[in-house]
């Protein structure tokens, strides 16, 4: 597996991985409710991904294995992690952890001393295991709970 910066041509595949991940792996969050899922997926389009990849305040990375994208992540210039999704067939193989490490390194290189994110219920245990801690009460967005989390960064990222 290779983690690399996303390119505009990756937008459709990165979008598809994200949509599959949300639909198939985040059931604890959307609980199969079609209206919640529709809201969550509303901005997960190839056009949106092209915009995120090309925006100067974002860094988008992809995990690639045998020429196929199996994960996608993004961090803003302010150290906010906005995406970390893995293809369902690649779950529990270290893809999300590798993406998170790459995002933290990029945040440090951009001058951040802390990363923040809002975790889903599905990923909460994962982020805690990676050193993130809740820093505020859960927030309700689209009828689902998100957990604001943060982590101080070291010069090597983690």
Q: Which fold has domain 2-112?
A: Aminopeptidase (3.40.630)
- The token duo for 133 is 């801690």
pLDDT tens by residue, the chain, 158 residues: 999 999 999 999 999 999 999 999 999 989 999 999 999 999 999 999 999 999 999 999 999 999 999 999 999 999 999 999 999 999 999 999 999 999 999 999 999 999 999 999 999 999 999 999 999 899 988 788 899 999 999 877 66
For the full predicted model, state whether its pTM sits above 0.95: no
């Amino acid at each position: 597996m290779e983690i690399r910066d996303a390119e505009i041509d990756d937008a459709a595949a990165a979008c598809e991985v994200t949509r599959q991940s949300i639909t198939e792996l985040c059931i604890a969050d959307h609980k199969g409710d079609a209206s919640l899922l529709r809201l969550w997926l509303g901005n997960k389009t190839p056009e949106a991904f092209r915009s995120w990849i090309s925006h100067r305040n974002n860094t988008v990375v992809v995990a690639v294995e045998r020429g196929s994208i199996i994960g996608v992540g993004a961090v803003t210039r302010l150290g906010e992690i906005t995406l970390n999704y893995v293809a369902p067939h690649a779950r529990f193989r270290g893809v999300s952890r590798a993406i998170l490490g790459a995002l933290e390194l990029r945040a440090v290189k951009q001058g951040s001393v802390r990363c923040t994110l809002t975790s889903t219920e599905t990923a909460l245990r994962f982020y805690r295991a990676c050193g993130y801690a809740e820093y505020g009460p859960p927030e309700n967005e689209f009828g689902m709970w998100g957990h604001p989390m943060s982590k101080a960064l070291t010069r090597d990222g983690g």
